[in-house]
């Protein structure tokens, strides 16, 4: 048999399908991938060191820049960590508002992530723009409550910065009326598309045991068939009061991750409905008035709090020395750790598949490089 030479090529750092400045050093034998080495650091700004210099409140807007699609979720995770550390109580209404924002974030994240993945596959623009259309509506809601579309900076220790009002709730209900229609359209357009099936089925398979060993979280883990969702495993905020399912895949391929994300959007919709129904009136307040936001000092000790971000387990580990800023501030970024499985998922597939597999992990470089 003719022996061919292996070739090393770079995908990225400047490549539209790497979703940011990310380089993959791949070794290929013809079209088939033999090895893949991810190269990081192009967006590194030592976020963790900044967290040690900032006071606790100053650091809140910095967390927006981690996963810039889901700044609401980042704020929530960070606020929860400092609340655990300083022993701050959160009023119930604030917990519900946070849940509403988290679930809206999940819908917008999955809608755009799947749109980008399908764009990478060649389903150029339609799927992405449908996702962007829904995202834009949700961003308008975020802008109304926080003043910013993407860098929301919305949570405070012991609550949120501004209450939601009747206008918001009316508009949210209007927005939600259109969502099931969007889910059905999106599914109907793509679910049985032969091209999608050919490009996504049995591609990038990550078996259950390997997924656990690789510490992947979020839709990637659930796509591999592990029903692990922090909202169920270790309920935070008020998630134990809602009825929702944890969708799981069977094979662990790109198609399963796609299905899990669509199912999760539907579950988020259910949570939103229940949260709006149960939302307590404004008498309890939306923020704990006893907390001194600007001069907050946490007693010496440590805390780790995590939330189910749309991309996986987002956790903050903070060590305090009793002063007004963290002694150690560490971010457990879901897409960073999900990337460790990339090489194994890609081996044996073609270069064109690598782009799709990367899209199915759903990374954002602001969080990977920190």
Partner 1 sequence: MALLARGELRSILQTQLPNVLDSRWDTQATDQVEAHGEGQTVLLDFDAVVKAEAIVEVAHFVRDTFGYDFLSNITAVDYLKQGLIELVYQFYNAAEGGPDLRVRVRIGRSPEECIVPSLTPTWPGADLQEREAYDMYGVVFPGHPNLARIYMWDEFKGFPMRKDFPKTGDKYTHVTGE
Nearer to partner 1, 44 or 173 (CB): 44
Nearer to partner 1, 158 or 312 (CB): 312
216 scored as a contact of partner 1 (CB under 8 A): yes
Q: What is the DSSP string of 197-247?
A: HHHHTTSS---HHHHHHTT--THHHHHTT----HHHHS--TTGGGS-----
Q: Where are the beta strands (DSSP E) in the chain?
A: 7-11, 23-29, 32-39, 155-156, 159-160, 301-309, 312-320, 326-332
- The Cα–Cα gap between 369 and 229 comes to 25
Stretch of residues binding partner 1 (CB under 8 A), selected from 11-19, 101-109, 169-177, 336-344: 336-344
86 scored as a contact of partner 1 (CB under 8 A): no
Burial class (CB in 10 A: 0-12, 13-18, 19+), 362: buried
Q: How far is the CB of 297 from partner 1 (least distance, A)?
A: 8
3-state secondary structure of 111: helix
178 scored as a contact of partner 1 (CB under 8 A): no
- The Cα–Cα gap between 6 and 20 comes to 27
327 scored as a contact of partner 1 (CB under 8 A): yes
48 scored as a contact of partner 1 (CB under 8 A): yes
Stretch of residues binding partner 1 (CB under 8 A), selected from 10-18, 146-154, 181-189, 232-240: 232-240
49 scored as a contact of partner 1 (CB under 8 A): yes
Instruction: Answer yes or no: are the C-beta atoms of 37 and 343 closer than 8 Å.
Output: yes
Residue with tokens 């893949």: 36
270 scored as a contact of partner 1 (CB under 8 A): no
3-state secondary structure of 370: coil
Closest alpha carbon to 302 in 318, 289, 285, 279: 318
Nearer to partner 1, 130 or 228 (CB): 228
213 scored as a contact of partner 1 (CB under 8 A): yes
Instruction: Count the helices and strands in the chain (H runs, E runs).
Output: 15, 8
Q: How many CB atoms lie within 10 A of CB 53?
A: 11
Which x/- pattern, by CB under 8 A, does the window 279-318 give for partner 1? ------------------x-xxxx-x--------x-x-x-
Nearer to partner 1, 41 or 348 (CB): 41
Stretch of residues binding partner 1 (CB under 8 A), selected from 76-84, 95-103, 150-158, 208-216: 208-216
**Binding-site ranges for partner 1 (CB under 8 A):** 37, 40-41, 44, 46, 48-49, 53, 212-217, 226, 228, 232-234, 297, 299-302, 304, 313, 315, 317, 319-323, 327-328, 330, 332, 336-337, 339-341, 344, 369-370
């Amino acid at each position: 048999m003719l022996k061919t030479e292996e070739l090393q090529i770079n995908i990225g750092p400047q490549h539209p399908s790497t979703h940011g400045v990310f380089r993959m050093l791949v070794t290929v034998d013809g079209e088939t991938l033999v090895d893949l080495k991810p190269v990081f650091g192009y967006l590194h700004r030592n976020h963790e060191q900044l967290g040690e210099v900032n006071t606790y409140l100053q650091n809140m807007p910095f967390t927006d820049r981690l996963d810039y699609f889901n700044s609401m979720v980042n704020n929530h995770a960070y606020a929860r960590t400092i609340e655990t550390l300083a022993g701050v109580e959160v009023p119930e209404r604030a917990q519900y508002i946070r849940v509403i924002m988290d679930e809206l974030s999940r819908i917008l994240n999955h809608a755009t992530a799947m749109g980008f993945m399908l764009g990478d596959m060649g389903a150029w623009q339609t799927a992405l723009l449908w996702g962007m259309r829904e995202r834009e509506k949700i961003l308008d809601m975020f802008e109304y409550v926080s003043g910013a579309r993407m860098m929301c900076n919305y949570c405070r220790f012991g609550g949120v910065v501004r209450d939601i009002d009747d206008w918001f709730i009316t508009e949210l209900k209007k927005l939600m009326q259109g969502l099931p229609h969007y889910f059905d359209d999106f599914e109907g357009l793509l679910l049985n598309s032969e091209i999608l099936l050919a490009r996504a089925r049995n591609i990038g398979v990550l078996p259950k045991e390997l997924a656990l060993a690789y510490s992947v979280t979020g839709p990637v883990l659930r796509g591999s068939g592990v029903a692990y969702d922090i909202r169920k495993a270790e309920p935070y905020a008020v998630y134990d009061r809602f009825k929702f399912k944890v969708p799981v895949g069977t094979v662990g391929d790109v198609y399963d991750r796609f299905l899990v994300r669509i199912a999760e959007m539907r579950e988020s919709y259910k949570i939103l409905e229940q949260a709006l129904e149960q939302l307590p009136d404004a008498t309890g307040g939306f923020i704990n008035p006893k907390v001194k936001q600007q001069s907050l000092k946490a007693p010496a000790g440590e805390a780790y709090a995590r939330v189910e971000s749309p991309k996986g387990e987002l956790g903050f580990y903070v060590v305090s020395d009793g002063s007004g800023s963290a002694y150690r501030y560490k971010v457990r970024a879901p897409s960073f750790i999900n990337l460790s499985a990339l090489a194994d998922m890609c081996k044996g597939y073609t270069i064109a598949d690598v782009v799709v597999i990367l899209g199915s992990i759903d990374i954002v470089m602001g969080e990977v490089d920190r």
